[in-house]
Structure 1
Amino acid sequence: MAVDDDVKRGCPPRLAFPDQVLAAVLHLRVALAAEPLAVLFDSSRTAVPRTLLKIRTLLKAHAKSVPPATTPPAALATLHARVIALSIDPNSKIKTPC
């Protein structure tokens, strides 16, 4: 029995493609780690690294790059505070992979 290469395996992405790109840009531009991105985008902590790898691969295939910021934007402190607040919220749940 032959396996069809077009068949998708695994869980469907939780993030829409524009959100995947935004997460990757935040990761590349201001060095946000995968876990804070998972909190910000309400995604699973295991899906974000796969998303980052996927978008980095697409950027590389199209010879595009996102250079790191030379100085962190002022909004990064606010973003960091939001991630911390969302991380310690007793009502927030860690999402399961599927």
Structure 2
Amino acid sequence: MICSQEVVYLFSGTLEKYKQFYAPYLIQDEMLHYTVNRQIPQYNFYGISGNFDGSDGVLKFKESFNGYAEKKIGTFQLITKPTKYRLYQLLKKIKGT
């Protein structure tokens, strides 16, 4: 998401078989250059789990760009269809995901 004062990187991922190509690093590099070239003051990697004990690979990846963690208000879920939501959660539990 690109705004006048901030570029926000929501998420990405890599399939194990393509891990050697380091695609998320290339995406970050391109977007960081984009941000700097347009003099946008902040690049937001968005979302980390808050687990700072060194076990969070996402945090390690984001820290490798020499940034810092900034605590924000967080997120929440508004369940508008509780019956469907409970069914969905049950199916996820059964599947083990």
TM-score of the superposed pair, with normalisation by structure 2: 0.31
Q: Which structure: greater strand fraction?
A: 2
Larger Rg: 2
TM-score of the superposed pair, with normalisation by structure 1: 0.31
Q: Which structure: greater helix fraction?
A: 1
